Structure 1
């Protein structure tokens, strides 16, 4: 028997559909009222030295393989000293049973430093410095995309997200196969395009821009939303307004405005709890490779996912365990609540405000 009353998403549990992954998420916003007696994280380290010769990502530092970094002044790209993928791989051979299948995995893993200083992060960089990062991303996408089927750019920021080196950088892994996340998004976007004749995420972006309840920040070429189906508390989705397949397809203006909107979003993240906000982020665009037929990619839309773990404060995070691992994803505040909190935050970085107040 259904209960009477008016549905309020911030008060009543419900499930939401994620069309990009063909999955559902349980939204239980009333759980934010429960007392927290679980694990408390250490706030991120703030006093990071600008240069540390023992940090293998710093200019002039010696890395684990004995190589010495150049005295770079902008971005710096190098092969990962401990790669998960390598260009050569031994074939496992035919399977003796369909339940025990394996294939060779080939690829390369690279590290890209954003800046020579260890004590800066993306929101504290200049627009020109961020634009240089965007250009390098696009360049690497072209170079590796000529060889490999998938090129994954991702950044793990903060020790909470497994970042072992306090220095602004990302990783780029290219593979001769489509990873699970890419394969899932390829399938759902293709199916939506076949059924509706439009790119799923182009249509979704247009809907969010019109509805505005989950909009965080926008400019003439980009918008950032907390997606309707978000799992992580302050998860966001960065979308171009026009149909774009890959980073290298962006115009000069779109690259400039991408640098701007990234800085604005990440400043809001840091301002939320007045810490250097941890997250994992990554770019998803159309597959690549030498044998790709471009007409097979029109269903794709370039986008970036941001997955920050913090829930209530700088020390309380969201854990994806138990029900999330064994049943389905669950979140503790609505995407609309998260978007409103982020949207209403100032776009001046809290450290700059503190420095000005101290003068």
Structure 2
């Protein structure tokens, strides 16, 4: 049986953090809204759960040097269950869900993780370091050490970040910052990635408003390529990108601390990047004022994306952060929202050129896309 939540820890802007364990030993963390009406006491998890799955194994693709985690236990995860059996809703007598009591925002370790639960030094054949992972050879394997967490934005069964209140959105931002710091401190973690998948067209398996956080044992391929670009261009890459965009035709939304824009070489029909105005490596480095504004701007941005058409837009909202041990002074926190929706009833599918060769062909002129998104934000 799980234990009771630990003593409350007050975070930025009055958000309160309470930590406990699920029945199989996984971490569960409640993040209470400032001034919440919830009781500080939370019910324990009394489910009879099977032991956690073994940590998966990574295999190296010798053609690219990239690592692939083979996580067969994920085959058993829930797939679009009816609302009355929502595994992310507060538990009831007929729905023994993953969260045993009511909550505002809740974060817990994924029951079917792609990485973890073992970490160095307990994990056998764990990666030694980045140099070890960079070596190329046939048949190379390493344990998929790391952590995968689920971030429940709300106890409601349907919705997304855009449907949250401003107060609740701020609590989620605080949870992202707290978990980024905690996961970055775990042994063997090289990069932390918060994200939200929204819509069945993206492959979402639960309608509940939620996101995820992956803590990887390597620097991801996209970030590795970014580090190469910074090495070639210079350490001011992000500052120069922001300066070139802030007064241009592709800006869609701006505040005191952040600017959102369609990138110069957008790949997707809907693609928006958001950057902080000062250099900050990850969520944990944001000031209270920046977190306050981000909760407002990000929610407004997503509501604009939803207003593009008559029904909600499928998207991936990806929070790119600097790796834990490299590029901290040059890689800036960046949101990238992408959607394959190229018209009201049409999706962009990755066919031969994009999927096989990584050679993209854009469907919309980025300046045209920016104008459409600005108009949608105004309508929203």
Q: TM-score, normalised by structure 1?
A: 0.74
Alignment match, 1:101: 140
CA RMSD of aligned residues (A): 2.6
Change (3 A) 1:228 1:128: same
- Give 1:255's match in structure 2, choosing from 275, 287, 291: 291
Q: 2:159 and 2:144 mapped to 1: Cα distance? A: 35
Q: 2:351 and 2:92 mapped to 1: Cα distance? A: 39
Would you say the 8 A contact 2:159–2:207 is kept in 1?
no
Alignment match, 1:54: 85
Q: 1:171 and 1:330 mapped to 2: Cα distance? A: 29
Unaligned runs of 5+ in 1: 1-47, 350-359
Q: 1:175 and 1:61 mapped to 2: Cα distance? A: 34
The SS at the match of 2:150 is strand
Alignment match, 2:110: 80
The SS at the match of 1:236 is strand
1:186 and 2:222 matched: no
Q: Which has the higher contact order (CA 8 A, sep 6+)?
A: 1
Unaligned runs of 5+ in 2: 1-79
The SS at the match of 1:272 is coil
Q: How does 1:188-207 map to 2 (within 5 A)?
A: 188-193=229-234, 198-207=235-244
1:145 Cα deviation from its structure 2 partner: 0.4
1:121 Cα deviation from its structure 2 partner: 2.2
Alignment match, 2:125: 91
User: Deviations along 1:103-130, whole A, 9 cap, x unmatched?
Assistant: 3331111101001112332222211111
1:253 Cα deviation from its structure 2 partner: 1.1
Alignment match, 2:323: 287
1:309 and 2:340 matched: yes
Aligned length: 288
1:68 Cα deviation from its structure 2 partner: 4.6
Q: TM-score, normalised by structure 2?
A: 0.70
The SS at the match of 1:132 is helix
1:63 Cα deviation from its structure 2 partner: 11
1:242 and 2:281 matched: no
Change (3 A) 1:92 1:215: closer
The SS at the match of 2:212 is strand
1:274 Cα deviation from its structure 2 partner: 2.2
Would you say the 8 A contact 2:180–2:283 is kept in 1?
yes
1:57 Cα deviation from its structure 2 partner: 0.8
Q: 1 or 2, which has the higher strand percentage?
A: 2
- Give 1:116's match in structure 2, choosing from 148, 155, 166: 155
Change (3 A) 1:126 1:348: farther
The SS at the match of 2:83 is coil
Q: How does 1:129-144 map to 2 (within 5 A)?
A: 129-144=168-183
Q: 1:61 and 1:84 mapped to 2: Cα distance? A: 28
Would you say the 8 A contact 1:155–1:170 is kept in 2?
yes
Alignment match, 2:201: 160
Would you say the 8 A contact 2:89–2:97 is kept in 1?
no
